[in-house]
Structure 1
Amino acid sequence: MDVVVEGLTYHVDVYGNGFPLVCLHGFTGDVTTWTPFVEDWCKRSKLILPDIIGHGKTESPEEIERYHIESAAYDLNKVLDHLGVHQVDLLGYSMGGRLALTFAILFPERVRKLVLESASPGLLTETERELRRMKDAELAKLIKDHGVQAFVDYWEEIPLFSTMKSLPKSINESIRSQRLNNSAIGLSNSLLGMGTGAQPSWWGRLNELEMDVLLLTGKKDNKFCLLAEKMLKELKNGTWTIFENSGHAIHVEEKEKFGTIVSDFLNT
């Protein structure tokens, strides 16, 4: 379905019944990220799967301000209002994890349980954020100058996704095909507006979260394991699960185990 928020049309898929579970995909992804889990999860949850601004079938406006992570969180709040849903469980992967955390901090009363897969609260210092903004601006220029395919060619080769190369060719081809369906303006503006350097640092506010929080990381993704270890010390009700055979994209690399652990956490 389409939901219009402040003049921007969001695409949202809704499945099943039960307590609502909102799932937020990562950068270059879309709602199909969660397709392998729909059949099982919708037996116990009402799944709400939005395409984040600039991705999939959701619009990709020119105004970078609409991509700011707080703006995207406020849009999600309006989407839930439109659906008549007050409180949800919230799952986010990578960029979607940063958005999920932002939403939980800004609207804590609306989140019952929070699952963060390979996610970060942002960068601690302004110097770190400025360096990251410069790098993201370079990538945004690559997309604008050379198109989505050239960017996807580059993105597939970054170390963050190196463990994906051991997966069956059909899986990587499917992910590539989905990534190529995104728009150049949507991806470039997402980097500029919602990148890790553009968002506020939430490190100082993690201790405000009262809900149960599950951190998920792949053992082969050392950077995000270190982040999760630090986050766990700040969270009041946090737990952390490490997937031995995964890198960054756990939901792809250890799909069955990921689905089971998320289900167990949400239904206990």
Structure 2
Amino acid sequence: MPHIHASDGTKLYYEDVGSGSAVVFIHEFAGDHRTWEPQMRHFARSHRCITFSQRGYPPSDIPKEPASYSQDIAVGDVLAILDGLGLQRAHIVGHSMGAYTALHLGIRHPERCISVVAAGCGAGSLPEPDRCQRQRLHAVETGKMFAEQDISISAATYADGPNRQAFKNKDPRGWSEFARMLGEHSAVGHSLTMFGVQAKRPTLWEMEAELKCFVPPLLVIVGDEDEPCLEGSFFLKRTAPTAALLVAPRAGHNITSEEPAAFNAALSELFFAAESGRWLAHKPV
């Protein structure tokens, strides 16, 4: 199995296929490298596509120390993938937890990003401190669930969340595959990721000053039934000067596999516009 070593020695499993401009896909909390199969098969015809499992997700290493998990470390792991594969720049496509990482990469290392996609982004980000604190407490409780229960039980509970119902109802076969793969994950990895990343990362509103200076072309994608992510997605559109927003109708949180045709079509337009320097062509000089 191919692995790249992160700065602290953690081994990150990756898959690399195709040729052309590079695309790096960063999965959500409930996903792994396999989440992006609809995108890997589509875009490998025209691009070099890289998907990887984040630390804590098999077959990558699962560090047991809580200090090995944070938002900053997640950004560093993407840089390790880029550097390990000799990539100076790539399209950075993130979903949910991965979308936060993609945004941080675009803020801190815009020179490494041809474009950035933030799909299903915004859960846990709210402008009011009291609502935000409730979300952080919910993340802690979710981390405890994965720490205290067998992965088969906690994964089944998490897969059946409210913003997964659109996927479950319209595509039971696809949802079942998603739930099965989630059940193959590591309870330790999930609990430490939830404690170290999800419960502690800054909200989008806390990132407002940095987002106002966002440089790479940014595409925000959200399903209209992904209620926890709607407010944050609209905030990104209104705040980042390079942002465009796509709202997918009748779609929930699993947007990459729930509506792969619409998702891939949107990415194709972004990639072409970003690579040709035409992403902001509609704006007056």
CA contact (8 A) 2:174 2:258 kept: no
The question of 1:16 aligning with 2:13 is answered no
Aligned equivalents of 1:153 and 1:15: distance in 2?
Answer: 31
- The structure 2 residue matched to 1:253, chosen from 258, 268, 280, is 258
More displaced, 119-128 or 18-27? 119-128
TM-score, length of structure 1 as denominator length: 0.93
Aligned equivalents of 2:142 and 2:227: distance in 1?
Answer: 23
The question of 1:214 aligning with 2:203 is answered no
Match of 1:2 in 2: 3
Aligned equivalents of 1:159 and 1:259: distance in 2?
Answer: 24
1:1-268 paired onto structure 2 within 5 Å? 1-5=2-6, 6-120=8-122, 122-124=125-127, 127-195=130-198, 197-201=199-203, 202-268=207-273
* Partner amino acid, structure 2, of 1:238: A
CA contact (8 A) 1:65 1:71 kept: no
TM-score, length of structure 2 as denominator length: 0.88
More displaced, 104-113 or 9-18? 104-113
> Which runs of 5 or more residues in structure 1 are unaligned?
none
Count of matched residue pairs: 267
Aligned equivalents of 1:123 and 1:12: distance in 2?
Answer: 33
Aligned equivalents of 2:246 and 2:60: distance in 1?
Answer: 32
CA contact (8 A) 1:31 1:56 kept: no
* Partner amino acid, structure 2, of 1:84: G
SS of residue matched to 1:48: strand
Aligned equivalents of 2:129 and 2:64: distance in 1?
Answer: 26
CA contact (8 A) 1:133 1:192 kept: no
* Partner amino acid, structure 1, of 2:51: L
> Which runs of 5 or more residues in structure 2 are unaligned?
274-285
- TM-fit CA distance, 1:203: 2.6
Aligned equivalents of 2:249 and 2:215: distance in 1?
Answer: 28
- TM-fit CA distance, 1:93: 0.6
CA contact (8 A) 2:237 2:245 kept: yes
CA contact (8 A) 1:116 1:214 kept: yes
Aligned equivalents of 1:15 and 1:82: distance in 2?
Answer: 15
Aligned equivalents of 2:41 and 2:168: distance in 1?
Answer: 27
Aligned equivalents of 2:113 and 2:43: distance in 1?
Answer: 18
- TM-fit CA distance, 1:9: 0.4
Aligned equivalents of 2:89 and 2:248: distance in 1?
Answer: 29
Aligned equivalents of 2:189 and 2:132: distance in 1?
Answer: 21
